[in-house]
Homo-oligomer: A and B are copies of this chain.
């Protein structure tokens, strides 16, 4: 099945891309497992591993007709499992960072410690993120001593909201850490690593002609365009439209429903960018729009975490108030990300024509 003997064609471009991503995957895995790597190196290796896994999976999806399809589908399922498992710990850690940073900004500097990433003392390296695992952070004073009077209750609320979010997200992260450890020791993981190792030397793709790749890449681009066409870009381009908070206090919050098409575009834009990479085209002009949708997703999940924390039984009203402010703040970040996306998207479309 190896394609090394062909002339350099577009089919080879696919083979070469998959091989280089597989090699990167294996390099990251080896680097991460090495003794003596520090937390930052391990975190970087974990990100690189997930980046390569995403690209392999996306490429097998886009160019599926050119591959051994049963094999491609099987590997994609396993890569999705691995990426998903490894991503969770990092997701909880960065969600907590985002929320503490926002509380920090909302409450003023003295009331909250710097965000987790700036504090290398907080604990040992995580499985794959290099951040603190389960070590609780130093407790901050439960009361703002200097203020006195009623406004101080809000500062207390911010501190308590931070402590509550930290407790809940650290617990979630600890569980994700255990799950990741378990995954990395499983035979299922070793089977994925073996499959990627095979991919690094022999890619099971059919002999492809130069003209085989672009139509498949174009199909992805068409799906992306259709998905973008249903986004309310006109409204998103009007600053302060307050759309992201609409129905935010309803018994059935409307955020999931309104966020879904943006999340869908995020995934399709990634597929499109990776397909462009395979073709050797310039995908960098789309990086900004892609990052805006990453921020959109992160802010939406942080807002949801704040709303979820507010449903903890027996919290103080000041804590709940702070979580409400924080929720709205993050929903406005959602709206800001949409505004940024529509701007970057229109600009990249204008540059392309």
Interface residues of A, Cβ cutoff 8 Å to B: 103, 105-108, 111, 144, 146-147, 150-155, 157-158, 239-240, 242, 245-254, 307, 310-311, 315-329, 332-333, 335-336, 339
Contacts and interface: CB of A to CB of B under 8 A. Distances in A.
10 contacts: A106-B248, A147-B252, A155-B251, A158-B249, A158-B250, A240-B332, A321-B324, A321-B327, A324-B324, A328-B329
Nearest to A317: B320
Nearest to A147: B251
B146 A251 contact: yes
Contacts of A324: 320-328
Nearest to A105: B246
A175 B208 CA distance: 83
A116 B16 CA distance: 68
B322 A319 contact: no
Contacts of A321: 310, 320-321, 323-324, 327
B154 A253 contact: yes
B336 A239 contact: yes
A60 to B, nearest CB: 38
Contact of A108 (B107, B158, B250, B327): B250
B106 A247 contact: yes
A101 to B, nearest CB: 12
A190 B92 CA distance: 68
B328 A144 contact: no
A249 B155 contact: yes
Identify the 3 closest CB pairs spanning chains A and B, nearest first: A324-B324, A147-B251, A328-B328
